Each structure stands twice: as C-alpha cells, then as structure tokens.
A and B are shown apart, each in its own frame.
Chain A
C-alpha cells in the first residue's frame, strides 16, 4: 500500500471511529497510526528509538514535544501535498511552528462533531460571529479556520458566507463593538440564538471597550472562549473572565464555554456546562473541567519520567489525538493538567526552569530568535 493510500485508510477509520463505529478500539487505532508514522517520519522513528523502539500498547507511543513543530516539519508527507499549513501562535515573540495537514476532511468532521455537542443546545436557528480577525486565504490559523467552519455548519449557510466581514468582529482598530451590537439586534429580531466565538484576549478587549456596559443579545446566547493571553492583553483569571463575560452579555455563566485546543492537534476539548447541549447531558460538567471526545485522550504524565501519573495527580498533558493521522498521533505538551471526575483540569503551563540566576530561560531564547 502506498503512503497516501495507507493514510487515507487510516483517515477513514478515524472518521468511522468518531461516528461511533467501535470495530476497532481507540488503542488499536492509535497504534496503527503510530506504526504508520514510524514508517514515514524519520523524526518520530528517532524519538521512538530513543525510548527503546517498541510500539506495543497505546501507552508506549511517545509524545512528540510541541516545540518540535517550531524546529522541524512534523508530517509524514512532503510539503507539496499540504492541503493546509496552520501556524502555531507560540508565546509572545517566540518562533512559529507549522502543523501541516494533507487532508482537511477529518479535521472538519472531528471539530464539527464535538463542537456541535458542546456548543449547540437545540434545533433553533442561530447566528455565529467571531471576536477574531477574518482569516486569510489560504488559512494559516487553525482557530480561524475552525470558526469559519462553525459559521457555515451551525447556520447551515453557504460556504462563502463565512467570509462576510460582519461576522469577524476584530479589525485593525480593535473590537468592532457596533457590529457586535448589530449582530445581537439581528439575532433578537430574527428569533435566533447567537454564538460568539472568541479568544480570551479578544474578550478582555471587548470588556475594556464596553467599560462596564452590556451588549443586548438573545438570552440563549453562547460564548465560546479559547486560548490564553500570550501577552496580547492584560490577563484576567478564568473565573473572573467568565463572570465578566456573562455579565457583559447578560447570560448565565453556564453559557460561557471554554474550549481547549492547540494548532498541533486536530481535535478539541470543551467544558460541558451548556444546558441542553449533548455534551452537558452526557457529562454534567462543571466550569473549569474539560472533556475529551472519544477520539482523543489526555494522559497526565510525570514531567521527568513521562510515565502516567495516578488519577487526580498533576502531570503535564500527553495528548493522543487520532485525528493527527499525518503529523503526530501523540503530542507532549508542557500544560499542567489533572484528571478529575472524568474530565481534565487545566492548571497552566509548566514553565521550564524558572529563571535561575543569570542562566538563560528557553522562552527568552526563542523570543530572541524570533526577532
């Protein structure tokens, strides 16, 4: 079987798995993808060899450090076959990495399937806007691409409607408050729900622009917030941000849903608090607890040995994402996490060595390189 035929077969298997077909288990499918990646990724082969080379269970699949995306191409296929190249945002000033995707249909299928279950609470018509800048062509932001997908799918709209400027409420002048208010008014008059997709720092900018005022929107409005601040705005603690956003939109805090995603991944995690949403019905989650889709697993591991830690203990997240067929099935992040009540608590990034004396920290180094 050629590489692409093999990849296509794995994509199909992942999509079937996501649709509920359990003819093959998560672990077996993960191992099949890892074996495929070992054949076609020299970097993964070396990483595996450094751990003894065995791929016997899903636990033996090493996580590719997320930093590797900044330093090397993490893909089984050549650049000429890229369908999309999503740039990692990195931390302020640090270098960008690329997550190259050979096919986008698996990304679309997985993101939409879990996004619907976390963010949609009923059959009523809805309007979707993004507190984000309009993404370019070809898209380089996986988040922007996902937001556009949600606009089209959740509204059952024409694909090019996602390019409408009134959907993207951040421009070079900052938050377009007027357009947000118009979106709220239109949704109210049409009897639609409103879904606002936003990054945390865009929400802070919105709160700053509102100066304590509120935005008139339907009461069934949902706000999806994602991402950290990465030095782009003042920082607000997650609980406070949730409270402030709920107050600004005059909605309950349960309707502010946090998403956890990374450019290096194909799939996302969500909180399960939205009343009426499928994920909430299944998990009854509380704020601050993120749930994985069936095709993704977060394994908290010890930062030194990389062995899984006991349930309830803090580790750094190794994320096994079946959607990453053509890049890295397992990603080793530096995000501190804890598994609680079937969900994942995010506890912030494990900063490498806190600056010791005059020794240079990696983040400073990366920032200098980027400049």
Chain B
C-alpha cells in the first residue's frame, strides 16, 4: 500500500461516520441532532448546518489536495474549538491525513461532534482530555487567538504547531452587478450569515458595496428582509448573555452612526465609506459603501478568512492577490469551502 493510499484509507471510516450522522432518517442521525442542541443552534439550524456544511461527499481531487497539503507526523494532535460543530470533521480528517495516531481534545463547551464521529468510526482516533505532544508530533489547534497563544507557550520543542485563530468573512459586491443579480445573491448571503448563527471564522460580518451611502442602505434594507424571512424557516438559536449584550451595544452604536434595519432577531446596519463596524455574531451584518474595495479591505487583510465576491473578473483577480489567505468564493458558498485542508488558509 502506498503512503497516499494508506492515508486515504484512514479517512474513509471518518467520512462514512459523517455520512451516517448527516442522515436525519437514521436513529444515529436523530440522536446526533438531539445531542448537538448543546451547540445553542436551533434544531433547524443544526439540520441546516448538516445539510450545507458537513463534507460527506468531498470530491476525490479535494481529498487529494487535503492529503497533499498535510505534512505527516508521528502523532497528530487536534485541539477543537466550539461554535462550528461540523468543523470537527475536517479537523480530524487533517489529523488522520497526517498520522495513524490521532489524539483529539474537543472543546469543553461542545464535545459532542467529536464523540459522535468516533462512535461511527471506532478506533479511527482517540479522544483525550489533555493533549501532550512530543517532539516530532504535530498539533493543529483551532480557537481564539488568546487560546492559541496560551497553547503555543506550553509546547515542548520539536512540536510543529498549526494555529488557526480568529477571523471573519466579508462580502464584496462590485458596481457592475445588476440590481437583479444583487437581489438574487442576497438570499445566499443571508444563508452564509445564518449558518452557525454567525459564530464561525468564515462567517460574513461586513459587506462592501460599490457606490455611495444610498446603495449601501438599499442593500442593507433588502438583506434585512432576506434574513427576516430566513429566520422563519431557520430560527436563530439561543445566545449567551454576553452575545446578546454585544448585539445591544452594536445596535445602538450603528443607530447613532448610520442606519439600522431589524432583520428578524438580528440587525443589518449601513454606514458610510470608511466607517467600519464589526457586528457581533447572532446574524448581524454591516454594509459599507466603497469606491475602492481593495483599499477598504487592506488594513484588515490578516483577519479576513473568507471573501464572497460578485462582479467583474478583474476585481476578482485583484482580490485574490490582495487577500492571499482568504478563501474567495461565491455568495452562498462562504461556509462550505472545498475539503482540501484547513478552512483557514491564512499564514498566521
């Protein structure tokens, strides 16, 4: 068996486990949905995430890319974050591509998905309460920058550390996009926002719209209606008190500085050029008018993990050059990047 074949074979039980979890008609799929209520998402939100984001049938070339871009290790250690429950799947897959010994420490707040995946792929990896990597091992860690900094200082020499920290997604709508096309892409953007109730590092928080404040305001208003409508189908889950407090502060700040449209339980705000505001998670978005999207994004480049784009090819090329670490995609695809490695491709 070649090295690639062996690594590929290690992924199959995990993929199979994910497939059976995604199937809501099975007892296992139903049990998973019950357990994943701990994520805070609504039952519909969990279903939606399973349907849209869990990679159960990646293309073979994606898997090849994932394996090809993953360095091998004696032992692969995986430190998972909470928030995006399906992310455990990809993270563990990367570990399995690296080593036949994979130790996973789930988030204490959301341990369910790793356990569910293991139950469907017994022995494929180990769940541990503490990670203790040694020289020659690799550690993939996902979480806040604060957590990653804490982890980094505890690692012994010789451990390769792959840190995937804080970030957010943006959308860019070029001036060449027709009103009809904008109205067609907004429902897809609403879905990108609603997935995981916007707690992921790929979740869009800001939308740049070519033009003046009126254009931004019109898009903000239309998007708020889309979000409101989507919420009737996929209700927002529960928020932690600090998340709700952040939304209150954001709403009032945005009301003072620009316009705010209620969007179901969330809000869409519209500002003026350069008036950056980062809405908190919970299905909120800030729309900014811009005359130069690249210039507007330049200062935030290291934080942008994902950029949905609609418009002329030339701008797309420029965005790709300007945001080399961000995944460039269409609206509606922000939360399901190819299964070709970590979702976060920034060089941190």
The finding on whether chains A and B are genuine partners in a shared complex, rather than unrelated, reads: yes
For the complex, what is the distance from the CA of A304 to the CA of B241, rounded to whole Å?
Answer: 8
Task: Return the CB mask of A74-112 against B: 1 if under 8 Å, else 0.
Answer: 100000000000000000000000000000000000000
A355 interface residue per 8 A CB criterion? yes
B201 interface residue per 8 A CB criterion? yes
Q: Are A358 and B166 in contact (CB under 8 A)?
A: yes
Knowing A357-B107, A359-B281 touch, does A352 contact B246 (C-beta < 8 A)? yes
For the complex, what is the distance from the CA of A368 to the CA of B165, rounded to whole Å?
Answer: 14
Contacting residues, chain A, for B302 (C-beta < 8 A)? 368
Q: Are A72 and B260 in contact (CB under 8 A)?
A: no
Q: Say which residue of A47, A306, A350, A368 sits within 8 Å of B299 (CB atoms).
A: A368
For the complex, what is the distance from the CA of A371 to the CA of B276, rounded to whole Å?
Answer: 14
Knowing A44-B256, A64-B256, A361-B166 touch, does A368 contact B201 (C-beta < 8 A)? no
B24 to chain A, nearest CB (A): 25
Q: Say which residue of A304, A354, A366, A368 sits within 8 Å of B248 (CB atoms).
A: A304
Q: Are B278 and A362 in contact (CB under 8 A)?
A: yes
For the complex, what is the distance from the CA of A48 to the CA of B85, rounded to whole Å?
Answer: 39
B103 interface residue per 8 A CB criterion? no
Q: Are B244 and A304 in contact (CB under 8 A)?
A: yes
A180 to chain B, nearest CB (A): 37
Q: Are A358 and B165 in contact (CB under 8 A)?
A: yes
Contact size class for B?
35 or more
Q: Are B200 and A353 in contact (CB under 8 A)?
A: no
A68 interface residue per 8 A CB criterion? yes
Q: Say which residue of A46, A352, A356 sits within 8 Å of B255 (CB atoms).
A: A46
For the complex, what is the distance from the CA of A361 to the CA of B241, rounded to whole Å?
Answer: 15
A2 interface residue per 8 A CB criterion? no
Task: Return the CB mask of B137-152 against A: 1 if under 8 Å, else 0.
Answer: 0000011111100000
The chain A residue sitting closest to B83, CB to CB, is A357
Q: Which of B126-183 contact A (CB under 8 A)?
A: 142-147, 164-168
A71 interface residue per 8 A CB criterion? yes
Q: Are B300 and A368 in contact (CB under 8 A)?
A: yes
Q: Which of A43-77 contact B (CB under 8 A)?
A: 43-44, 46-47, 49-50, 62-65, 67-68, 71-72, 74
B277 interface residue per 8 A CB criterion? yes
11 intermolecular pairs with C-beta atoms under 8 Å apart: A65-B253, A67-B253, A72-B275, A355-B145, A356-B144, A356-B240, A357-B144, A358-B84, A358-B144, A369-B299, A371-B299
B contacts, CB < 8 Å to A: 81-84, 107, 142-147, 164-168, 199-201, 203, 205, 240-246, 248-249, 251-253, 255-257, 259-260, 271, 275-278, 280-281, 299-300, 302-303, 344
A contacts, CB < 8 Å to B: 43-44, 46-47, 49-50, 62-65, 67-68, 71-72, 74, 303-306, 316, 332, 334, 350-362, 364-366, 368-369, 371
